[in-house]
Amino acid sequence: MKNFLSLIVGIIVGGALMYYFGSKDDIKEMAQEIRPNGLISPAEAKVLDQAYTIKHNIINDSLFKKSTNGGDNRSSWFALEDVEGYIQFAKKEAGTLGYTLDGLRVYLGSYPNSKGETGLTTVFFIPTGKQNVSDGSMFTLPQGGGSDIPGGSGLNRGSSGQPPSNNYPQ
C-alpha cells in the first residue's frame, strides 16, 4: 500500500512539474512567434517623435499659416476593424490584379487647401506586392518588399489626434 501511495504522489508531482515547466516554454514560444519585426519601445517612439517635431515645426511655422482647428495633424488613428478589413480586401484585390500582397507602404500626405484653410497632414496605406509571373527558374533569390501595386486601393481617413497637433503619447 505504501508503494502504491508513493506511485500516486509521484505521478501527481511529475504531472504538475511537467505542466508548470511545459507551459512556461509554450508561453515563451508563443510570445516569440507573435512578436513582429520592427517593434520599438515607447522610449524609442518618443525619440522618433521628438526628432520629427523639429522638422515639423520648421516646415509648419515657416511655410504655412496655423490652421484654425488646433494645428496640423501629428498622428492618425485607424480602427483595428478597418485595418484588418483593409488587409483582407487588399489581399483579394492584389490577386485580382495579378499580384501577391506582401506588405503595406505608409505614405505621408496632405489634403489640398480648401476654403482658405490649410490642408492638414494625413497618412495613407498603399498595398505592395510582387507580380504573379513565372520566370522559369528553379531558384528564387530572396528580395525586399515589393513595389506598390498598380491600381491597388489605398486606405486613408483615419482620425486625427486630440487635438491634432498633440505629440506622442496621446
pTM: 0.65
The values of phi and psi at residue 50, to 5°, are -65, -40
Digitized pLDDT (tens) for each residue of the chain, 170 residues in all: 666 666 676 677 666 666 766 665 665 665 567 777 788 888 888 888 888 888 877 777 766 655 555 667 778 888 899 999 999 999 999 999 999 999 999 998 888 888 877 777 888 999 999 998 865 555 554 556 688 898 888 888 777 666 566 666 66
